[in-house]
């Protein structure tokens, strides 16, 4: 009898011990899960704050941390929105390859963020300097997205206008900015169209008539004077040698010096005119790109 009571007591105590251990394990798992969720929520809060304050590099790191920790607890629209912001953070941090990878995933899915992701895809191509592919993405939105919002349509036209400016098609750019209803970009483009430029052909004609005149026309006075003096000296040397019946010297001076300096003056005039035009154009483009963060597109 005593042996039976002792056995019952022993097995009951063992059962209570095992139950307590199991409960402790469940509690530990719950605490671990709660801890992971807390860390993930904190990372997301930090990421959102950094994103709002345009600290895109650190925002991308926090979004990555959040997705890694919380990968099993997030899906659907919430996941797509996080990945969309991650892609924008990559893009604005200059990590275009990472942005392209995430955007590729988003555009392949049929959801409401697909077209927004496609716009960001166009921006990736813009940053890479691939204007052709950027235009394909943007025109695809215009042609195959009838339900596009007014905001989306204006953004597409604005980006197409920026591409046109980079291609030096100011007339097309003005048309796009007009469709985008962006008064600032319209005004800047009109100023750019009216900006006085140096005529490349005219600069070459000037230097063909008077060596150095084309350079002076382009504002390169030192080069113009130097070209005039060198060409004048080579002409003088040619005439002087000819008058002295030193025909070999005259031909050498003419062919090796005068011809070289004369053609060099014409080429310099052409290059300086192009350089002047590029400088003026790029100054206006820089002002435009600073507007609304267009340098980040």
CATH (domain of 120) = 1.25.40.10
End-of-domain residue from the set 73, 105, 126: 126
The residue assigned the tokens 């895809």 is 121
Could you tell me if residue 282 is inside a domain?
yes
Boundaries of domain holding 266:
200-286
Contact predicate 70/36, CB 8 Å: yes
Could you tell me if residue 216 is inside a domain?
yes
pLDDT mean over 155-171: 91
What's the pLDDT band for 110 if we cut at 50, 70, 90? low
- Give the Cβ contact number of residue 144 at 10 Å: 10
pLDDT of residue 209: 92
pLDDT mean over 239-245: 84
109 vs 13: which has the higher pLDDT: 109
Position 70 pLDDT exceeds 70:
yes
Please report, rounded to a whole number, the percentage of residues in the chain having pLDDT higher than 90: 19
Distance between CA atoms of residues 187 and 219, nearest Å: 28
**For the chain, what is the domain count?**
2
Summarize pLDDT for 178-229 with one digit per residue, the tens: 999 999 899 988 988 888 889 999 999 999 999 999 999 999 999 999 988 9
Q: Which range among 23-32, 68-77, 213-222, 284-293 has the greatest average pLDDT?
A: 213-222
Distance between CA atoms of residues 168 and 285, nearest Å: 10
pLDDT of residue 295: 47
Could you tell me if residue 195 is inside a domain?
no
pTM score, whole prediction: 0.63
What's the pLDDT band for 18 if we cut at 50, 70, 90? very low
């Amino acid at each position: 009898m005593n042996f039976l009571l002792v056995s019952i007591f022993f097995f009951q105590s063992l059962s209570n011990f095992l139950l307590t251990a199991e409960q402790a394990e469940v509690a530990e798992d719950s605490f671990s899960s709660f801890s992971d969720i807390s860390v993930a929520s904190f990372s997301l809060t930090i990421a959102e704050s950094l994103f709002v304050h345009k600290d895109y590099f650190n925002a991308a790191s926090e979004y990555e941390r959040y997705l890694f920790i919380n990968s099993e607890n997030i899906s659907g629209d919430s996941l797509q929105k996080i990945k969309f912001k991650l892609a924008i953070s990559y893009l604005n941090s200059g990590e275009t390859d990472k942005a392209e990878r995430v955007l590729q995933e988003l555009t392949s899915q049929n959801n409401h963020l697909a077209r927004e992701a496609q716009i960001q895809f166009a921006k990736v191509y813009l940053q890479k300097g691939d204007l052709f592919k950027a235009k394909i993405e943007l025109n695809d939105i215009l042609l195959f997205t009838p339900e596009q919002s007014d905001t989306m349509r204006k953004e597409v036209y604005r980006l197409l206008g920026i591409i046109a400016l980079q291609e030096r098609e100011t007339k097309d750019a003005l048309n796009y900015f007009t469709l985008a209803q962006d008064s600032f970009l319209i005004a800047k483009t009109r100023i750019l169209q009216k900006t006085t430029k140096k005529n490349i052909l005219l600069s070459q004609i000037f230097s063909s008539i008077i060596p150095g005149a084309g350079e002076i026309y382009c504002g390169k006075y030192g080069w113009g004077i130097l070209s005039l003096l060198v060409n004048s000296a080579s002409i003088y040397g040619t005439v002087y040698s000819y008058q002295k019946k030193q025909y070999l010297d005259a031909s050498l001076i003419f062919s090796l010096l005068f011809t070289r300096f004369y053609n060099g003056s014409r080429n310099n005039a052409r290059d300086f005119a192009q350089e002047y035009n590029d400088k003026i154009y790029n100054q206006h483009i820089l002002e435009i790109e600073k507007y609304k963060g267009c340098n980040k597109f």
